[in-house]
Amino acid sequence: MTEDHSELNLCPNCGKENLPMATRCVHCGSEIESLFTIFGQSQAPDEEAEDSLPDIIEEIRNDPSLQIPAEPEPSQEVQQEDQTDEAALPADQLPDWLAKVRERAQVEEDAIGDLVSGTIAMDAARSEEGSAGVEGEFNAWINRIREKTQQDASARVRQIPSELEEPDQVPEWLQRIRALRPRPEEEITHEVKTPAPYADDLPLEWTDEALQELRRKALAEDHELETEIHPSASLDDQEQELPAEPEAELPGEPVQDEVETPEEDFHNIPNDEEEYHVPVPDEDLGHLKEVDQETVPEQIPEQEPEIVETEALELWLEPNPEESAEDLAQPETQPTAEFGAEEPPAEPETKETPEQDEVQEAILEEESELPIREPAEEPDESDQPGDSAAVPPNLLLLRDQQDRASLLASLIEQEGRVTAHKKPTRKPSGRAGRLVVALMLLVGLIISILIGPVSIPADTSKSLPAMALSEQIQSLTKDDKVLIVLDYQAATSRELEALAAPVLAQLHAQDAQLAFVTSQPSGLFLAQSLLEQAGLPENTQVEYLPGSYLNLIGWAVTPAISATGDDLVTVKNLGYFKLVLMVSDSSDNIRGWLEQIAPWISSLKFAAVTTQMEATVLLPYFDSGQLVGYAAGSADGNIGSQTSFNYRAYRVGLLLMLVMLLLGMISKGEEDAIRKEEEGAE
Amino acid sequence: MKRPLPLIVGILSGLVVLAAMFFIPQGGGILTMVLNWVIIVAAAALLVAIASMVITHLRFIASGKKGFLLSLVLVISFLATLVFGLLRGVDDPVFLKWVGAIIRPIETALLGLVALVMMSAAMKIFRERGWSALTVSFGVSAIVFLILGLGFLQNLNIPELNEVIRVVEALPMIGARGLLIGIGIGLLMMAFRVLFGMEGSGND
């Protein structure tokens, strides 16, 4: 068994031979990585393989294997080196055939032939074209990767503000606002004793009130700083007056000279806000003028107001070792500096170029869109420092900066927070209103009931059908047979019994023979109450008539014949009756009697006692004479004395219903008016 | 698809009753007999309905369905009334008074609730339906007749006003007459549909 050592692999660690299929060295145990390595591919772990895209691009860019050779054709030196390498082999080690080929090639000029040389030249040309195409595609790919990388980087930069909103990190705008406030270690003068509204001197949320408080603090502190350093100015204030418009008459040169000395490019506006870097218009300073007019005349010297302000500006802009570094980054200090620096003394603000007009108009429009400006601009006089005669220029900066900070804070607050959706205006359900209405109704009814029953006045006029019914009853004589049909439910028994009981009492008083039938099972026990109210004997028989009026059709069509005619109901003959009085709460049943029974017996008269709700349907039958009369409602029941019917409660109920109906109309009208008003407002 | 037998029975019954109505008194006996059949069948149907109701509520009780206590009350009340009526008879005054003392206040209270519901509906109809011819006419007519129902105007005893009130109170008769004419035409059309097999229980 022999081993081919030419196929053995050498261990990179110990250098000893291993079999080709071995993955680890049999001698030292180290991993033989060369077996699985691919030339040109990085052997970094996965974590390194997941490098960022720019790194990969950079690697590709710097990879010499992917570099485009500067000289596509091999140089002569390289060819010579190759030749020297080949020639370096000793001639005795070359095979015979190779030696013969070399000898022939040295003798013959074109050893490979014209055809082969042309083919080789064509392949070379094609390879150049192909390499150029591959190179172009590669460059395009690289460009796409670069663009994507730039987009990712820009997106990452955009996400930074949201990360800065973490509680432990301070956003840039907040740092700027904090820089406005002189810290205790930075203060030259004593600290103004103002109650700290917040535990850490900084609110968690920059509301309008917080910014206003901050500005007041800055006002007070700045003014104290000013008065401490310039006592002479305060002494002169008592003797001199401030001109009416100090800003308009503010000479620019002294300020310019002194302002430009500390910092030529002094401004605290960020680079990305250069577009907002415009001079403060005169209108914007109107409120300061008002303040000056109110407080300055007794404190500001009249002769040298510009000097005072210049000194104030100088002090404000004096490079403080700690504060200046932050103030330099503050926005809106430049406008005032430039306000004094850019305007020559010969050209006050009244002279404005068209460009300045446009800028001022733009600023005015911008300011009009800021909702927080109006309440925050003018602090209360009590909050103002008493000796704020010369309004320091930094006040302008503070106010303008406050607006910007407030706007920025509101924007950041809206971005960072989950926007609380506007709660939909809940439409009032009206349950309370309905409850009040129901209670009012119940209270009214209960009170009217508790007061006591009141009968209908005797002079109350009756309806025409009721008067006809009364006449029919009065026309009955002794022993006239009357069939009383009880066809009502317990729910309407109170109303119907109140109407029917007087009629029955009158019939009984006239000695009419009464026969009672009921088409409702409940009529058996309801009749007892009715008979009791009418004063009829308790043993009065009430027959149950199944099938209602359909059962009586046979009585009318094929009446039974009675020998005496006194059997009445038992004989089942309607021809004996002179009047049929229907006490019913259903107009349909009354209509059935009139349409199914009446045509068969022409001599039979029909009358009815019904509810007021059903009476309307009976009007045509009364008008046509099919009904000789009917009684319906409380007024028609005023035939006799009624003790069970509370007329007062009835009228109170009607009155309440009338009120409810009017309330419904009024509420609807009010709703329409409100909606129209809202539509008009929109 | 209509089944022929019920259709034929329905058509023949209608034709017989109609013919009997035209040929009185010869057809009176047939008419009375047919109407008695109708009453008997209706009474039997009522018994079937009562039995069905009791069985249904017994199932509710057995299965413990939600609200089975009400079913229990219904069944107990039904059985008590049935037993009491069978023992004492339907004409017994004590039985009738006992039943009436229960049913009368219950149904009266329900009718009172109907009045409250109608009042609430009258109040809400304008909010729900808005201003339309229907709602405005309803509101105006309701207000007018509520005022008339109070009786204040009638007690004034002004002849001219009483004449106006009489005319106004007669206005509902117009609507009622139109309603009755419509009902009559509808019943006639229905009768024709039944007689010609276009309507009735012949449907599957």
Question: Residue A635 and residue B151: Cβ atoms within 8 Å?
Answer: yes
Q: Which two tokens stand for residue A71?
A: 């000289």
Reply yes or no on whether the pLDDT at B97 is more than 50.
Answer: yes
Question: Residue B107 and residue A490: Cβ atoms within 8 Å?
Answer: yes
- What is the 3-state secondary structure of B25-56? CCCHHHHHHHHHHHHHHHHHHHHHHHHHHHHH
Rg, chain A, Cα only: 57
Question: Residue A492 and residue B111: Cβ atoms within 8 Å?
Answer: yes
Reply yes or no on whether the pLDDT at A251 is more than 50.
Answer: no
Q: Could you tell me if B93 lies within 8 Å of chain A, comparing CB atoms?
A: yes
**Burial category of A563 from C-beta neighbours within 10 Å (exposed 0-12, middle 13-18, buried 19 and up):** exposed
What is the percentage of chain A residues whose pLDDT exceeds 70?
A: 46
Give CA torsion, residues A504, A542, A538, A479, to 10 deg: 50
Q: Could you tell me if B154 lies within 8 Å of chain A, comparing CB atoms?
A: yes
Q: Which two tokens stand for residue A299?
A: 């404190």
**Burial category of B127 from C-beta neighbours within 10 Å (exposed 0-12, middle 13-18, buried 19 and up):** middle
With cut-offs at 50, 70 and 90, classify the pLDDT of residue A345.
very low
- Which chain B residues have a beta carbon less than 8 Å from that of A557? 24-25, 28, 31-32
pLDDT at A12: 79
Question: Residue B154 and residue A522: Cβ atoms within 8 Å?
Answer: no
ipTM of the prediction: 0.83
Question: Which A residues, 517 through 546, put their C-beta within 8 Å of a C-beta on chain B?
Answer: 522, 524-526, 528-529, 538, 544, 546
Tally of residues, chain B: 204
With cut-offs at 50, 70 and 90, classify the pLDDT of residue A341.
very low
Question: Which B residues, 46 through 85, put their C-beta within 8 Å of a C-beta on chain A?
Answer: none
Residue-wise pLDDT tens digits, A492-528: 888 888 888 888 888 888 888 888 888 888 888 888 8
Three-class SS state of A490: coil
Q: Are strands A9-10 and A17-18 parallel, antiparallel or unpaired?
A: antiparallel
Mean pLDDT of A554-569: 61
pLDDT at B48: 95
Q: How far is CA A210 from the centre of its chain?
A: 26
Distance of residue B190 Cα from the nearest chain A Cα, in angstroms: 17
Which one of A517, A657, A659, A675 makes the best mutation probe of the B interface by having the most chain B beta carbons within 10 Å?
Answer: A657
Distance between CA atoms of residues A507 and A516, nearest Å = 13
Residue-wise pLDDT tens digits, A120-145: 656 665 656 656 667 778 888 888 88
Which one of B24, B126, B167 makes the best mutation probe of the A interface by having the most chain A beta carbons within 10 Å?
Answer: B126
Reply yes or no on whether the pLDDT at A323 is more than 70.
Answer: no
pLDDT at A561: 59
Q: Could you tell me if A667 lies within 8 Å of chain B, comparing CB atoms?
A: yes
Mean pLDDT of A528-547: 84
Distance between CA atoms of residues A344 and A339, nearest Å = 10
With cut-offs at 50, 70 and 90, classify the pLDDT of residue A84.
very low
Residue-wise pLDDT tens digits, B7-20: 888 888 888 888 88
pLDDT at B72: 92
Question: Residue A617 and residue B179: Cβ atoms within 8 Å?
Answer: yes
Strand arrangement, sheet containing A513-518: A542-544, A513-518, A481-487, A579-584, A605-610, A629-632
pLDDT at B57: 93
- The answer to whether residues A624 and A594 touch, using CB atoms and an 8 Å cutoff, is no
Residue (of A355, A354, A201, A363) closest to A280 by Cα position: A363
- Exposure of B44 in the CB half-sphere (CA atoms within 13 A): 6
Distance between CA atoms of residues A667 and A670, nearest Å = 5
Question: Residue B93 and residue A538: Cβ atoms within 8 Å?
Answer: yes
Tell me phi and psi for residue A544, to 5 degrees: -90, 130
Q: Which two tokens stand for residue A673?
A: 């008016």
Question: Which A residues, 376 through 435, put their C-beta within 8 Å of a C-beta on chain B?
Answer: 434
Lowest mean pLDDT segment, chosen from A104-113, A306-315, A427-436, A472-481: A306-315
Residue (of A250, A270, A190) closest to A225 by Cα position: A190
Option in B38, B100, B146 nearest A529 (CB): B100
**Greater pLDDT, A336 or B26:** B26
Residue (of A453, A445, A368, A510) closest to A647 by Cα position: A453
Question: Residue A558 and residue B146: Cβ atoms within 8 Å?
Answer: no
pLDDT at A178: 72
Residues 6+ apart with CB under 8 A from B49: none
Q: Could you tell me if B184 lies within 8 Å of chain A, comparing CB atoms?
A: no
Distance of residue B197 Cα from the nearest chain A Cα, in angstroms: 24
Q: Closest chain A residue to B114 measured between Cα atoms?
A: A491
Distance of residue B189 Cα from the nearest chain A Cα, in angstroms: 17
Q: How far is CA A268 from the centre of its chain?
A: 37
Residue (of A527, A444, A440, A451) closest to A490 by Cα position: A527
Q: Could you tell me if B203 lies within 8 Å of chain A, comparing CB atoms?
A: no
Q: Closest chain B residue to A559 measured between Cα atoms?
A: B28
- Which chain A residues have a beta carbon less than 8 Å from that of B131? 668, 672
The number of beta carbons lying within 10 Å of the beta carbon of residue A406 is: 22
pLDDT at B185: 93
Q: Could you tell me if B91 lies within 8 Å of chain A, comparing CB atoms?
A: yes
pLDDT at A1: 42
Question: Residue A554 and residue B120: Cβ atoms within 8 Å?
Answer: no
Mean pLDDT of A541-569: 69
Distance of residue B185 Cα from the nearest chain A Cα, in angstroms: 14
Distance between CA atoms of residues A363 and A412, nearest Å = 22
Helices (H) and strands (E) in chain A, counts: 26, 8
Distance of residue A682 Cα from the nearest chain B Cα, in angstroms: 22
Size of interface A-B (CB pairs under 8 A): 148
Option in A547, A558, A660 nearest B25 (CB): A558
Question: Residue A437 and residue B124: Cβ atoms within 8 Å?
Answer: no
Strand partners, B154: none
For residue A295, what are the CA distances in angstroms to A284, A381, A388, A487? 19, 10, 7, 96
Reply yes or no on whether the pLDDT at A539 is more than 70.
Answer: yes
Mean pLDDT of B172-188: 90
- The answer to whether residues A608 and A621 touch, using CB atoms and an 8 Å cutoff, is no
Q: What angle do CA A369, A370, A373 make, to 5 degrees?
A: 135
Q: Which two tokens stand for residue A598?
A: 């009446």
Distance between CA atoms of residues A180 and A398, nearest Å = 8
Residues 6+ apart with CB under 8 A from A179: A323, A326, A327, A329, A330
Question: Residue A524 and residue B25: Cβ atoms within 8 Å?
Answer: no
pLDDT at A120: 60
Reply yes or no on whether the pLDDT at A372 is more than 60.
Answer: no
- Which chain A residues have a beta carbon less than 8 Å from that of B106? 490
Identity at A561, one-letter amino acid code: I
- Find tokens 């117009």 and name the residue: B174
pLDDT at A496: 87
With cut-offs at 50, 70 and 90, classify the pLDDT of residue B44.
very high
- Which chain A residues have a beta carbon less than 8 Å from that of B144? none
- The answer to whether residues A248 and A436 touch, using CB atoms and an 8 Å cutoff, is no
Lowest mean pLDDT segment, chosen from A27-41, A453-467, A612-626, B112-126: A27-41
Distance of residue B127 Cα from the nearest chain A Cα, in angstroms: 5
Q: Could you tell me if A461 lies within 8 Å of chain B, comparing CB atoms?
A: yes
Option in B29, B107, B166 nearest A558 (CB): B29
- The answer to whether residues A335 and A278 touch, using CB atoms and an 8 Å cutoff, is yes
Tell me phi and psi for residue A541, to 5 degrees: -85, 135
Reply yes or no on whether the pLDDT at A304 is more than 50.
Answer: no
Distance of residue B100 Cα from the nearest chain A Cα, in angstroms: 6
Question: Residue B150 and residue A551: Cβ atoms within 8 Å?
Answer: no
- Which chain B residues have a beta carbon less than 8 Å from that of A620? 173, 176-177, 180
To which H or E segment does residue A516 belong? strand A513-518
Identity at A467, one-letter amino acid code: M
Lowest mean pLDDT segment, chosen from A99-108, A292-301, A639-648, B1-10: A292-301
Mean pLDDT across chain B, nearest whole number?
Answer: 85
Residue-wise pLDDT tens digits, A616-657: 888 889 988 899 999 887 767 665 555 566 778 888 888 888
pLDDT at A544: 85
Q: How far is CA A22 from the centre of its chain?
A: 69
- Which chain A residues have a beta carbon less than 8 Å from that of B127? 664, 667-668, 671
Mean pLDDT across chain A, nearest whole number?
Answer: 66
With cut-offs at 50, 70 and 90, classify the pLDDT of residue A582.
very high
Three-class SS state of A579: strand
Q: Closest chain B residue to A652 measured between Cα atoms?
A: B150
